[in-house]
């Protein structure tokens, strides 16, 4: 009995340290992200050059995600995570010390490598140590909380350092603070991962990624990620041009959505099945699409609440489904493929809605995107061959 209690307590401490690590890393990246453009502008970068700085980070993450994830079988998740933390901290130091904006290109390249190295294996560790959906939902509250706190922390620190150090050094001090906070993310549990137990045959087997159910799951994540890009690109213009909200209140709508994103993650734990969690997230996204058809303020806030809830329900459930569909030796690679769908879907959503807005109003565009994505996700999930087994998990 005492052994069982001891193991349970150790497992909870491990999850708490993972949660704190994920939170520190996400705050670090979220607090520095909005300031990169401002810092580059102060160093003389044009809008197109600022776009290149951000684009290098995104492109590097996209290209390096799978190659880095493939190393997990050889070196283990924890080494990859710590490498990602270290490289991310170095990228922030490069931003801090950049004498011209061109040096920030190197910082963005390292930033992309750091995120690609950290994210899939960290999610893999979270899924592996959580064991079941009941705890995974709670642990996965760290990313949205970090994304909500990051901009607030950067705003407070920027004001503080501006008063103490002056404008010329304030941005560097914030980046340096972010590097220190990122470093705290390396304080992972000491329990070993599965990297050392793998053999060459297991490392070479990538075929499971192309199996039918995995392809359906990735496709489902792709269509929902399209909505993320569509909302990010379209909603601010929609509510401002429509006179629904003034510009300074637009961030409040996204903060409102983040609250439901956080709430949806532990709520997914109560469903006791990744299949039910994905279904609930898909239904919630469909409801958001219907509410986007209305142009009043209440409907917009209602739509964003269901939008945030959809992501909160779907994300932990999709990670558990990857764990079921992929063997332990391929979990990190499976998660890397799933996150590639996020990158691609979000990019397509932002680009696609930007083109479509030339011929369609924003309200029906958002409504169609969210409704079609929700229904498509439902259809793809019901097509899973392992659906009945997933319902019992």
Q: Domain ranges for the chain, please list them.
A: 2-190, 203-391
Instruction: Centre a 10 Å sphere on the Cβ of residue 295 and count the other Cβ atoms it contains.
Output: 15
Rounded distance between C-alpha atoms, residue 135 and residue 269, angstroms: 7
Nearest one of 211, 315, 202 to 258, comparing CA atoms: 315
Write out pLDDT tens, residues 73-130: 788 888 888 999 999 999 999 998 888 888 889 998 999 899 889 988 888 888 877 7
Nearest one of 295, 315, 324 to 388, comparing CA atoms: 324
Q: Which of 193-202, 311-320, 334-343, 372-381 has the lowest mean pLDDT?
A: 193-202
Percent of the chain with pLDDT over 70: 83
Average pLDDT over the chain, rounded to an integer: 80
User: Any idea what DSSP says for residue 383?
Assistant: T
Q: Which residue has the higher pLDDT, 220 or 387?
A: 220
pLDDT bin (cut points 50, 70, 90) of residue 151 is confident
Tell me, yes or no, if the two domains 2-190 and 203-391 fold the same way: yes
Residues in CB range of 197: below 8 A, 6 or more apart = none
Residue 10 in this model has a pLDDT that exceeds 90? no
Of the CA atoms within 13 Å of residue 209, those in its CB half-sphere come to: 21
Classify domain 203-391 at the CATH class level.
Answer: mainly alpha
Write out pLDDT tens, residues 189-224: 655 554 444 343 344 355 666 778 888 888 999 999
Per-residue pLDDT, averaged over 310-318, amounts to: 90
Q: Which residue has the higher pLDDT, 275 or 34?
A: 275
Say how many Å lie between the first and final Cα of the chain, rounded.
26
Rounded distance between C-alpha atoms, residue 225 and residue 58, angstroms: 15
The answer to whether residues 376 and 302 touch, using CB atoms and an 8 Å cutoff, is: no
What local confidence, expressed as pLDDT, does residue 5 receive? 43
Please calculate the CA angle 358-364-366 and round it to the nearest 5 degrees. Answer: 90
Tell me: domain 2-190, CATH 3.40.50.920, correct?
no
Rounded distance between C-alpha atoms, residue 257 and residue 284, angstroms: 13
Nearest one of 326, 268, 27 to 140, comparing CA atoms: 268
What local confidence, expressed as pLDDT, does residue 245 receive? 78
Per-residue pLDDT, averaged over 278-283, amounts to: 92
Residue count (the chain): 393
Note the Cα 168 to chain centre separation in Å: 32
DSSP per-residue string spanning 289-356:
HHHTT--SHHHHHHHHHHHHHHHHHHHHHHHHHHHHHS-GGGHHHHHHHHHHHHHHHHHHHHHHHHHH
Rounded distance between C-alpha atoms, residue 118 and residue 78, angstroms: 9
Residue 383 in this model has a pLDDT that exceeds 70? yes
Residue 390 in this model has a pLDDT that exceeds 80? no
């Amino acid at each position: 009995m005492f052994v069982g209690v001891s193991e349970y307590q150790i497992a909870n401490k491990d999850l708490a340290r993972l949660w704190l690590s994920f939170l520190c890393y996400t705050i670090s990246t979220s607090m520095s992200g909005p300031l990169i453009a401002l810092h580059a502008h102060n160093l003389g970068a044009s809008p197109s050059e600022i776009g290149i700085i951000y684009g290098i980070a995104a492109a590097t993450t996209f290209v390096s995600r799978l190659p880095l994830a493939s190393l997990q079988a050889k070196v283990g998740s924890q080494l990859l995570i710590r490498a990602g933390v270290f490289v991310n901290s170095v990228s922030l130091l490069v931003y801090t010390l950049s004498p011209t904006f061109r040096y920030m290109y190197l910082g963005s390249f390292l930033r992309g490598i750091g995120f690609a190295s950290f994210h899939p294996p960290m999610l893999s560790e979270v899924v592996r140590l959580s064991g079941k959906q009941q705890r995974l939902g709670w642990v996965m509250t760290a990313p949205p909380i970090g994304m909500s706190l990051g901009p607030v922390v950067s705003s407070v620190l920027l004001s503080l350092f501006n008063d103490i150090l002056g404008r010329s050094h304030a941005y560097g001090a914030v980046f340096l603070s972010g590097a220190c906070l990122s470093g705290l993310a390396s304080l992972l549990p000491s329990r070993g991962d599965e990297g050392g137990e793998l053999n060459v045959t297991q490392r070479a087997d990538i075929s499971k990624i192309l199996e039918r159910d995995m392809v359906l799951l990735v496709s489902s994540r792709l269509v929902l990620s399209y909505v993320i890009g569509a909302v990010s690109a379209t909603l601010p213009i929609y509510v401002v041009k429509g006179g629904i909200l003034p510009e300074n209140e637009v961030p409040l709508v996204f903060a409102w959505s983040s609250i439901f994103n956080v709430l949806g993650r532990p709520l997914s734990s109560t469903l006791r099945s990744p299949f039910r969690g994905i279904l609930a997230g898909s239904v919630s996204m469909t409801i958001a699409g219907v509410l986007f058809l209305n142009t009043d303020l209440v409907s917009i806030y209602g739509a964003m609440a269901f939008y945030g809830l959809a992501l909160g329900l779907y994300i932990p459930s999709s990670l558990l489904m990857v764990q079921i569909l992929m063997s332990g030796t391929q979990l990190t690679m499976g998660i890397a493929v799933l996150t590639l769908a996020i990158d691609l879907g979000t990019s397509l959503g932002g680009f696609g809605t930007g083109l479509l807005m030339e011929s369609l109003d924003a309200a029906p565009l958002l409504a169609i995107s969210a409704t079609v994505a929700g229904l498509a996700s439902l259809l793809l999930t019901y097509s899973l061959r392992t659906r009945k087994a997933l319902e019992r998990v």
